[in-house]
Structure 1
Amino acid sequence: MVFSDKTEGVEEQIIDLFAATFTASEGADEGALIGNLVSNLLSSTPHEDIYVFTAHDRGEIIAGAIFSRLIYKDDPRSVFILSPMAVVTDRHGQGIGQGLLKHALAVLRDNGVSVAITYGDPAFYGKVGFLPLDEGTAAAPLPLSFPMGWIGQSLSEEPLHALKGKCTCVAALNDPAIW
């Protein structure tokens, strides 16, 4: 398995990965929603506000993880949210997602990102260091439909202290249907 952060020329493959994976697990409507989200993230997010990581096996993209910037108005720390993430359905349970996330979190850390947050399954993401967050520690940019899924971790030597100020996300994530 090879990890990459290159998207040029493979944007449609990345979009298809997310749409197909979410269609298989959550249905056609969710697949379309996430496919559109990924398309919007790739096409409209400034380069400095997004990281895209993929895992490849035999030349095929088998997993993807997209991190985009969160801004806390009164906090100087660099914060990125993982949303969304996907592993092709027939490769679940093989450690691919965890491997991709460990790689991605190391790259983020090396690039000065202080905090990583995601909104997903605490049991899965807990395996790579994500812990439950509350609104006092890290406000979400929009109301959460599943508050138990709001999780994060410090990527620095310091423990995660409360993030200060109102939170905003990139335009593509600024959609209540996603939250």
Structure 2
Amino acid sequence: MGLGVREALESDWPAIAEVILAAFGREEGPEIAGLAAELLQDPTAHPSLALVATANGRAVGYLLFTSTRIKDAQQAAPSAILAPLAVHPDYQGQGLGGRLIEEGLGQLRASGVDLVFVLGHPGYYSKFGFSPAGARGFEAPYRIPPENADAWMVQELRPGAMGRISGQVVCADALNAPEHWQE
């Protein structure tokens, strides 16, 4: 099928926006595509890592990681948040989202990132090593209702990072708004 994963280029953006719209639908898609575009331009989101999945040269998946920091942490720890992940409906259920996640986590690990956060479906993200962040001492930028607490997740990329820091996660300005943290 000619599937590949590579770093996204600025010239990929129109196709990536279409993937996001298709994956999230016409109701949520425009907001999520707008947020992704805003994050790419937000200097507080950098360093960032944007990956695109292609099938026969056509964009069919997208993943963005942006920089975060831990408020009032005693020690600095390079960290990032995964948002958004989108796979075109024609390619969902084929492991493409997982391939994007694994490639991204590998690149982040190699670049020295200690922790990666995500607000997402626990049943999905736990397959890639994410676990509830609140139980590990990491508070989301905004309150997560108790019934959704397990959706706020973290993965340690550098052994021992979780044992030495905790606190509230601060995201890029574009993502640090209450509407991005509510169901």
TM-score (norm 1): 0.89
**What letter is aligned with 1:81?**
I
Residue pair 2:20, 2:33 contacting (<8 A) in 1 also: yes
Cα distance per residue 1:86-111 (max 9 Å; x no partner): 11112111111111111110000000
Kindly indicate which of the two structures has a greater share of residues assigned to helix. 2
For 1:159 and 1:112, locate their aligned partners in 2 and report how far apart those are by CA, in whole Å. Answer: 11
In structure 2, the residue matched to 1:110 is: 110
**What letter is aligned with 1:154?**
E
Q: Tell me how far 1:159 sits from its aligned partner.
A: 6.0
Asked if 1:175 corresponds to 2:142, the answer is no
Asked if 1:18 corresponds to 2:8, the answer is no
Q: Tell me how far 1:30 sits from its aligned partner.
A: 1.4
For 1:113 and 1:14, locate their aligned partners in 2 and report how far apart those are by CA, in whole Å. Answer: 25
For 2:56 and 2:50, locate their aligned partners in 1 and report how far apart those are by CA, in whole Å. Answer: 19
For 1:129 and 1:33, locate their aligned partners in 2 and report how far apart those are by CA, in whole Å. Answer: 28
3-state DSSP class of the match of 2:134? coil
In structure 1, the residue matched to 2:122 is: 122
Relative distance call for 1:140 and 1:163 in structure 2 (3 A) is farther
**What letter is aligned with 1:116?**
V
Residue pair 2:118, 2:153 contacting (<8 A) in 1 also: yes
In structure 1, the residue matched to 2:58 is: 60
In structure 1, the residue matched to 2:28 is: 30
For 2:44 and 2:5, locate their aligned partners in 1 and report how far apart those are by CA, in whole Å. Answer: 22
3-state DSSP class of the match of 1:177? helix
For 2:44 and 2:18, locate their aligned partners in 1 and report how far apart those are by CA, in whole Å. Answer: 21
Relative distance call for 1:37 and 1:162 in structure 2 (3 A) is farther
Relative distance call for 1:41 and 1:17 in structure 2 (3 A) is same
Q: Tell me how far 1:41 sits from its aligned partner.
A: 1.1
Residue pair 2:45, 2:171 contacting (<8 A) in 1 also: no
Residue pair 2:45, 2:172 contacting (<8 A) in 1 also: no
Deviates more, 1:66-75 or 1:52-61: 66-75
Residue pair 2:5, 2:54 contacting (<8 A) in 1 also: yes
In structure 2, the residue matched to 1:144 is: 144
Q: Tell me how far 1:46 sits from its aligned partner.
A: 5.3
After superposition, the CA RMSD in angstroms is 1.9
**What letter is aligned with 2:85?**
M
Aligned residues: 175
Q: Tell me how far 1:12 sits from its aligned partner.
A: 2.0
Residue pair 2:116, 2:154 contacting (<8 A) in 1 also: yes
TM-score (norm 2): 0.87
For 1:167 and 1:51, locate their aligned partners in 2 and report how far apart those are by CA, in whole Å. Answer: 18
Q: Tell me how far 1:114 sits from its aligned partner.
A: 0.3
Relative distance call for 1:132 and 1:47 in structure 2 (3 A) is closer
Residue pair 1:49, 1:68 contacting (<8 A) in 2 also: yes
Unaligned segments of structure 1, at least 5 residues: none
